[in-house]
Homo-oligomer: A and B are copies of this chain.
Amino acid sequence: MVTKKEAAEAVRAAKARLGLTWAQLAEAVGRPVAWTTSALLGQQPMSAAEADAAVALLDLGDDVRQALLLQPTRGALEGAVPTDPTIYRFYEVLQVYGPTLKELIHEEFGDGIMSAINFRFGVERVPDPAGDRVVVTLDGKFLPYQW
């Protein structure tokens, strides 16, 4: 039996071997690229049709397909604080600006949270003469504290 983690490694290896992009995989699967990537990395359960499409394009077997269908136990970081610099910068944003995010949400919406469940995000390149910019848009439903 292949775990979702082993399936993710198999996906990465096949993607590199075949020279595929996450965008191509997303198109084949028929879902947004961020969702598709997270699903292939083991953080979302795929439908049978989605798994079929992914496995076909990646030329992988049924054991990987089975793993992609499973309900994940989510959580993709090795430790509490990520060490990889590309990921760490987002943790640094949280360390430096976390309470600011909280204040601005409460000022605009009142007491509550941005849902991380009813949630989507995207990564975009915004050209800039001083150097192109990575723009990440986090978009979650506001959930007010309701007793």
Range, interface on chain A:
35 or more
Contact, CB under 8 Å: A120 / B147: yes
Question: Are A41 and B100 neighbours in the complex by a CB distance under 8 Å?
Answer: yes
- Cβ of A143: which chain B residues have Cβ within 8 Å of it? 115, 117-118, 131, 143
1/0 per residue, CB under 8 A from B, across A112-135: the answer is 111111111101111010111111
* A136–B119 CA distance with the chains assembled, in angstroms: 11
Measured between beta carbons, the chain B residues less than 8 angstroms from A17 are 66
> Restricting to A88-121, which residues have a CB under 8 Å from any CB of B?
88-109, 111-121
Q: How close is A143's CB to chain B, nearest CB, in angstroms?
A: 5
Chain B residue at minimum C-beta to C-beta distance from A70: B16
Partner-B contacts on A (CB < 8 A): 1, 9-10, 12-13, 16-17, 21-23, 31-35, 37-38, 41, 43-45, 66, 69-78, 80-109, 111-121, 123-126, 128, 130-147
